[in-house]
Amino acid sequence: MRKKLPVVLSKEEVWAMLKNTRLLKHKILIGLLYGCGLRCFEVRNIRIADMDFDRKRLHVVQGKGKKDRYVPLSEHLIRGLKSYLEAEKPEQWIFNGQPIERSGGDFDSRYSQKGVQWAVKQSAKAAGIIKEVHVHTLRHTFATHLLEDGMDIMTVKELLGHERIETTMEYLHVMRNRKRDIFSPLDTLFAQCSRNTK
């Protein structure tokens, strides 16, 4: 079976998504997906009670495999979350949707899966990103950037809530190794030969 490597965004592309997203709600959504490495259903299930601003942690309740975990909350995200809570005043879930009468789907007031997917797609489009960006792309990017920034793989595994280390090790194939940056021989060819022709 063919194994596809995950699509990963650069830090500049994530920054562009955050800068080009107009609604504060969507900025916070993208900040949580990328900054905490959350899955779509996990970001939809965040309650106000799950956030601990003093300890800078988010309690991910009943993630995949019905397991709880804690992930760090960035100072920047905490500031944004405080502004968002003040402006929107959600009651239970951080992200309230527009509940409408329909058969199937969610009957509570949480943001829908389609709503989350739409917000991410719109943000990537506004940022001019041509890569195929999905909700899970931000989770892949979270893991890859942490590894590139020097975090050990066991800690990344815990933050992602992975059962098996092999799942986390996939990110080693897409990360740029800081110790020995991978480059194309064209770069050295141009650098060397352009000097020689001067």
64 is an active site residue: yes
Q: Is 39 a catalytic residue?
A: yes
Is it the case that residue 100 has pLDDT exceeding 70? no
Q: Model-level pTM?
A: 0.84
pLDDT of residue 174: 81
Domains, the chain: 11-196 (1.10.443.10)
Cα distance between residue 48 and residue 21, in whole Å = 23
Catalytic residue among 39, 59, 69, 134: 39
From the centroid of its chain, how far is CA 192?
39
Asked if 44 is an active-site residue, the reply is: no
Q: Model confidence at 184, in pLDDT bands (50, 70, 90)?
A: low
Per-residue pLDDT, 188: 66
**Is 162 a catalytic site residue?**
yes
pLDDT score of 58 more than 70: yes
pLDDT score for 173: 82
Asked if 40 contacts 116 with a C-beta cutoff of 8 angstroms, the reply is: yes
Residue 183: per-residue pLDDT: 61
